[in-house]
Amino acid sequence: MTSTEYAVRGMTCGHCAAAVTEEVTKIPGVTDVEVDVASGRVTVQSSSAVSDEAVSEAVEEAGYEVVTA
């Protein structure tokens, strides 16, 4: 099990968290996504390593931006 935390810019509410969770969950291997809107942190748990690029693309698809990996 792999766990990686990302800082995401632009999330302000539960809808934001749901949108990010929905997109990141689509990445093959992702088993869980935890979003903390208050801190702007997204924690991705996966059964194998997931590329930072894949997570960034999924977050962008949801309308937000990864600022650090």
State the CATH architecture for 2-68.
2-Layer Sandwich (3.30)
Given the structure tokens 């990141």, which residue do they identify?
A: 24
Distances, alpha carbon 20 to alpha carbons 4, 10, 61, in Å:
15, 11, 8
Q: In angstroms, rounded to a whole number, what is the distance separating the alpha carbons of residues 4 and 42?
A: 8
pLDDT, position 33: 98
pLDDT, position 68: 66
Structure confidence by residue, pLDDT tens digits, 25-48: 999 999 999 999 999 999 999 999
Q: Domain extents for the chain?
A: 2-68
